[in-house]
Chain A
Amino acid sequence: MDKQNNHIIVTEDIKKNYKDNGVEVPAVRGVSLEIARGEFSAIVGPSGSGKTTFLNIISGLDTPSAGKVWLRGQLLSEMTGKDLSDFRRDHIGFIFQAYNLIPVLTVEENVEYIMLLQGVPKVERHERVMAILRDVGLEEYAGRLPSKLSGGQQQRVAIARAMVSGPDLILADEPTANLDSKTGAELLEMMRELNIKTGMTFLFSTHDTMIMERARRVITLKDGIIDSDEVKG
């Protein structure tokens, strides 16, 4: 029990099978892992290695075929759909490869969305949104629609959205895949700084060597199992 309480993520023999034309195909074949609070880690591996499936399972977006997941000491399988929604809202920030901002909402409205779900008062929402936009260098773009921003700027908004409510864990799927290397490097630096400044845990799923180089821990998945787990000094 101490293990679950001392780590933000604990998984125990996670397995996930998909059905493909009636045939069961294993995507994850028994992954046990602990991620400590404040880590800046990356799960790497080739396409089809099970990274995305594993991230979906540990964030409660998908259910495992077998095994258990604890997030902040709470067993996900014991939560209802509504509890999981609230848990993700309050404790997990997501950064997606394709930004996935809501196109009809302005930058400010996109960033405040999660706080709105949390019922944070309007004045406080505005203050926190403007503060995080200042941190990501987009304060002047608060009233713009996502379509009026560059890819790098949109990903900054996505990072601001993920972090603004102060979650314990940020899950980022290929966050630099759609960006040029310079913008990608800038964003990684920014995320690392926020990781150090706030103590939030960052877990990436990536092919990007730039992320692998900056991550403090690199977990390699191969054919649905952990092939290596390297912690940098």
Chain B
Amino acid sequence: MLFYIKLAWRNMFRNKRRTIIASIAIAIGLAALILSMAVMRGMETNMIKSATASFLGEAQIHNKKFREAQEVEETIRNLDRVTADLKKEDIVEEFTLRTISMGMVSSPANVNAVLLVGIEPGTEKFLSQIDDAVAEGRGDYFKADNSRDIVIGSKLAEVLEVELGDRVVVTVAQAKTGDLSQEMFRVSGIYRFDIKEMDSGMAFIRLKKAQAMLGIGDGVHQIAIKFKDIQTASLKEIPFWETYSTGGNEAVSWITLLPQMKVVFDMTAITIGMMVIILGAVVIFGIINTLFMSLYERMFEFAVMRAVGTRPSGMRKLVILEAGALGVISIILGLILGLVLTLIMTKTGIDYRGIEFAGTTMHEMLYPEMHILDFILFPIGVMIFTLVVGIYPAWFAGRMKIADALRKSL
């Protein structure tokens, strides 16, 4: 076996130019896979961040009935115990309490339906980007200690034709009775997320005020949670979900809250799969072409080897090992190329800020994320692929007719 390995390795360097060209083609395929995977991973992280950091949070806890019916009386059960437990969770970085209700905001000029959100400004700023989205010069994010402050979106301000300091009236239906509750607020901040639904259809007031208007006492409808690791929300197997999905409550991740995002990620996985197939086809033809050219050039030599007693299995072994040698060279080149390209891009980043994708506007630079497994699994895949592709030329070499190949000689 060692002899065949030595022979295969040396044979690969008989035509250095051809071997190098074929290796570079395969290496580019491997490097492209590594880089694409890192970019996709970075994009996924960005999309999760953009989707969850704006307002959603990476996970939420509700009363089980609330998410379906949006009834304001369906507040979270055992709130004190739930919040106490959340404070003890190692995986949780921050959480905030919210009320969620439909309401009307009216100004002297117009009236508009909104999702009225009661928030605790102190903790909300860790979970959402409302404070960042309040554009400079357009107000403050609940800076003053005034319970009648309201922060609205820029599109809503346009519809209502209001500016900072203007007064608006908020109307909501109270829990249980359905009686209307009206309060006057002062526009203290105008935010711009560049997400149409948020800029035109949401308004934020203080939690205590919202609870009072809705008549739900100290109840809240939602606890938004941020984990220490952004990937935690994707882990279905962690006990967190079960722990907080008891007593009439439910804990769900952004994957459940934003099913369309999951579809996007699934599509991304399909795209990667298609890319693997296309690159695989390039690799297949590269290897087959190289091996067959090398084989046809050496028909005499192969026939001589067969004539002097090499078994067909020996010839097959030699060709498979030559494919393996090509794979080794290609993988070394591909790993170096993939590492260098990905490292450069992790430093420079890709600027696609402002681009809206699947309903999410990207706010941050995209930085590819390398993963050690990419540098193990992809090369193993390429090697297996190379060896499998080598089977056909190897089979061809094993069944060659010696006399035909030698016809010009013996």
B234 to chain A: closest CB distance in Å?
Answer: 52
Q: In the complex, which residue of chain B has the Cβ closest to the Cβ of A81?
A: B312
Contact of B308 among A103, A104, A113 (CB under 8 A): A113
Q: In the complex, which residue of chain A has the Cβ closest to the Cβ of B401?
A: A62
Chain B residue numbers with a CB within 8 Å of A103 are 14, 301
A175 to chain B: closest CB distance in Å?
Answer: 10
Chain B residue numbers with a CB within 8 Å of A96 are 304, 406, 409-410
Determine if B314 is an interface residue (Cβ-Cβ < 8 Å).
yes
Determine if B125 is an interface residue (Cβ-Cβ < 8 Å).
no
Instruction: Choose among B307, B308, B407 the residue with the greatest number of A CB atoms under 10 Å from its CB.
Output: B308
Stretch from B3-11, B284-292, B339-347 at the A interface: B3-11
C-alpha gap A116/B345 in the complex (Å): 51
Determine if B300 is an interface residue (Cβ-Cβ < 8 Å).
yes
User: Is A94 a contact partner of B402 (Cβ separation < 8 A)?
Assistant: no
C-alpha gap A86/B310 in the complex (Å): 8
Mark A108-137 against chain B: 1 for CB-CB distance below 8 A, else 0.
000001101110000000000000000000
Chain A residue numbers with a CB within 8 Å of B3 are 116
Contact of A85 among B11, B306, B403, B409 (CB under 8 A): B306
Q: Provided the pairs A102-B7, A103-B14, A104-B7 are in contact, do residues A52 and B410 lie with their beta carbons within 8 angstroms?
A: yes
Instruction: Choose among B13, B301, B409 the residue with the greatest number of A CB atoms under 10 Å from its CB.
Output: B409
Contact of B309 among A90, A97, A98 (CB under 8 A): A90
For window 154-201 of B, CB contacts with A under 8 Å fall at none
C-alpha gap A103/B7 in the complex (Å): 10
Interface residues on A, range: 20 to 34
C-alpha gap A93/B304 in the complex (Å): 11
Determine if A171 is an interface residue (Cβ-Cβ < 8 Å).
yes
Stretch from A7-15, A53-61, A184-192, A213-221 at the B interface: A53-61
Mark B109-147 against chain A: 1 for CB-CB distance below 8 A, else 0.
000000000000000000000000000000000000000
Chain B, interface SS category: helix
User: Is B312 a contact partner of A100 (Cβ separation < 8 A)?
Assistant: no
Mark B301-322 against chain A: 1 for CB-CB distance below 8 A, else 0.
1001111111111100000000
Instruction: Choose among B312, B314, B402 the residue with the greatest number of A CB atoms under 10 Å from its CB.
Output: B402
User: Is B409 a contact partner of A173 (Cβ separation < 8 A)?
Assistant: yes
C-alpha gap A193/B313 in the complex (Å): 36
Contact of B301 among A61, A82, A102 (CB under 8 A): A102
User: Is B14 a contact partner of A100 (Cβ separation < 8 A)?
Assistant: no
Q: Provided the pairs A62-B403, A173-B410 are in contact, do residues A117 and B310 lie with their beta carbons within 8 angstroms?
A: yes
Determine if A149 is an interface residue (Cβ-Cβ < 8 Å).
no
Determine if A210 is an interface residue (Cβ-Cβ < 8 Å).
no
C-alpha gap A113/B410 in the complex (Å): 19
Instruction: Choose among B3, B11, B309 the residue with the greatest number of A CB atoms under 10 Å from its CB.
Output: B309
B288 to chain A: closest CB distance in Å?
Answer: 22
Q: In the complex, which residue of chain B has the Cβ closest to the Cβ of A117?
A: B309
User: Is B308 a contact partner of A94 (Cβ separation < 8 A)?
Assistant: yes
Mark A28-62 against chain B: 1 for CB-CB distance below 8 A, else 0.
00000000000000000000000010011001011
User: Is B14 a contact partner of A89 (Cβ separation < 8 A)?
Assistant: no
Chain B residue numbers with a CB within 8 Å of A102 are 7, 301, 304-305
User: Is A100 a contact partner of B301 (Cβ separation < 8 A)?
Assistant: yes
B291 to chain A: closest CB distance in Å?
Answer: 16
User: Is A94 a contact partner of B410 (Cβ separation < 8 A)?
Assistant: yes
Subset of 16 A-B contacts with CB under 8 Å: A52-B407, A61-B410, A85-B311, A85-B312, A100-B304, A102-B7, A103-B14, A103-B301, A104-B10, A104-B11, A105-B7, A117-B310, A171-B410, A173-B409, A173-B410, A205-B410
A-side interface residues toward B, CB under 8 Å? 52, 55-56, 59, 61-62, 81-82, 85-86, 88-90, 93-94, 96-98, 100, 102-105, 113-114, 116-118, 161, 171, 173, 205
Please give me the 8 A-B residue pairs with the lowest Cβ-Cβ distance, nearest first. A89-B309, A62-B403, A104-B10, A173-B410, A100-B304, A56-B403, A85-B311, A61-B402
B-side interface residues toward A, CB under 8 Å? 3, 7, 10-11, 13-14, 300-301, 304-314, 401-403, 406-407, 409-410
